[in-house]
Amino acid sequence: MTDTRLEIIPLGGLGEFGMNCMVMRFGEDIIVIDAGIMFSEVGHFGVDSMTPDFTFLERHREQVRAVILTHSHEDHIGSLSFLLKKVNVPVYGTPYTLRIVEPRLEEHHLLPATALRVVQAGETVEVGAFSIEYIRVSHSTVDCCALAITTPIGTIVHTGDFKFDATPVCGNAIDVARLRTIGQRGVLALLSDSTNVERPGQMPSERVVIPALEEIFDRARRRIFVSCFASSIHRIQIMFDLAQQFGRQVVAVGRAMERNIEIAERTGFLDTADLLVNPKDFKHFDPSEIVVLASGCQGEPMGAMARIADRSHRQAWMEAGDTVVLSARQIPGNEKAISKLINRCYRNEVEVIDSTQARIHVSGHGAQEDLRLMLEAIRPKYFIPIHGEYRQLYRHKLFACQTLGYAPDRVLLIESGDVVLLDGETAQIGDKIAVNRVYIDDTCSLELDETLLRDRKRLAYEGVVIAGVAVEETTGALLGPPEITTRGYLGVDGEEEEIAELRDVALSAVEAMPPAERVNGGKEHFQEHLRLALKRHIMRLTGQKPTIVPLVVVV
């Protein structure tokens, strides 16, 4: 690496949805743009989320100058605490974004030691060799920015998540004029969101959902339960506006919903019009006087909406004739959980309305026309699609080449771990660094290694066989027949004949070892001898590989 080249290295977010994390290095200076999570997938036993692998940053920790946040969504800030435990550097972000970050840092006991630097849209910060300008963009949450990053060899624009919404419900519209000015000044490379590249046209404004929601409020005669993402401040503002219009009070249920409403109101992005009431007062209102904003729109078992539907929530419940509005998209992988939530709601004899029945949700990511507008505003020398699975990245490249006439060699199609090298005139893909997923158990906020995950998977699919043997301390004599216990082992649980066969195998293994060796050769050696005997027998008869736990007790 020389002082005349810029490295761009995605640690996550390319070739996958989530874990957005982009590294830029020039000379001895590194900045990190966003640090997000990806939620668990099927087959990840006990895993709640995944973070990027920060080994590269740990290895070069003396060069890391700052983390630059574009906005407050979990796929952009969710792994920040895990990163800061490895590399403690200042964190830059807009006021609302940093307010959302604070409680997460506090949970990890990092808040006092973390330097949070507030940046308003339109301001520029200097970090090492980088000059970073925050530019207002529109998205499904508030206080979101693209970044114009000036380096010694040229300017890089990172869009973050965006769409062209000229009439946002909260805050100011995307700063198109500034984007065009930066484009006219000359941009070396554009890194642009690819999420909705497969959708034609332009993504509508958040205001497009108002008519359908207004109709729902108009015809509802009892309680209205609205579940959306707690980060969807535009949508939440619409609910407060409609509540005021139709003479209803608002109850916020769910920790994330309550916290985000409080932060958005404190930072000036939300006007609750004094309609927000304490959840404890839910029972005091007539059903026609209340609207409930509940988190858990993805059917999370412990989410507020699921507990309300199950009538297990302490402060809110639904009854026959109420209306439930699911005003959010279904995140891929959550379809079954959302279906279960809808079924639970129907058991209460309520009306359920989701985005398949009415236009009550709109994406915060730009469609093809938005992507075209961004490319035309920035007019970069090189274009790098980001944020999406490989098909979105590939389609974004095709879109740029076929629709806007970009030469294929001017569009770099990269994935997480690829290293892009720019020298001001040329761009090329260099060596790839190893990037893995790090698995997180949210109950204890700990990282889980691959071995632990493999063990959990084996236990789930193959079961466990426990073999207990007791021997005399001085002679090594067997004090009784081996005890065999199984859990989840197919074809054996409860079958006394097969249990007896496993007991015989264990007994033969013990008898094959001289008594003196049982105590003098070490317990670990004895246990491994017993484990291998059972493993070979089970594998020969069934082809299965259960986890075998030998327990040798010396009395």
Which residues participate in the annotated binding site for substrate? 361-365
CA distance 393 to 386: 6
Helix and strand tally (H, E) in the chain? 16, 27
CA distance 69 to 92: 6
Dihedral sign of CA atoms 455, 459, 464, 468 in order:
positive
The C-alpha angle with vertex 227 and arms to 245 and 79, in degrees rounded to 5, equals 125
Structure-block tokens of residue 120: 């308003």
CA distance 310 to 327: 20
Binding site as annotated, residues: 361-365
Q: State how far the alpha carbon of 190 is from the alpha carbons of 46, 124, 327, 396, 399, in Å.
A: 38, 18, 32, 12, 14
Q: How many CA atoms lie within 13 A of 392 on its CB side?
A: 23
CA distance 97 to 267: 10
Structure-block tokens of residue 13: 């977010």
CA distance 356 to 360: 9
CA distance 257 to 101: 15
Cα 251 to the center of its chain, rounded Å: 27
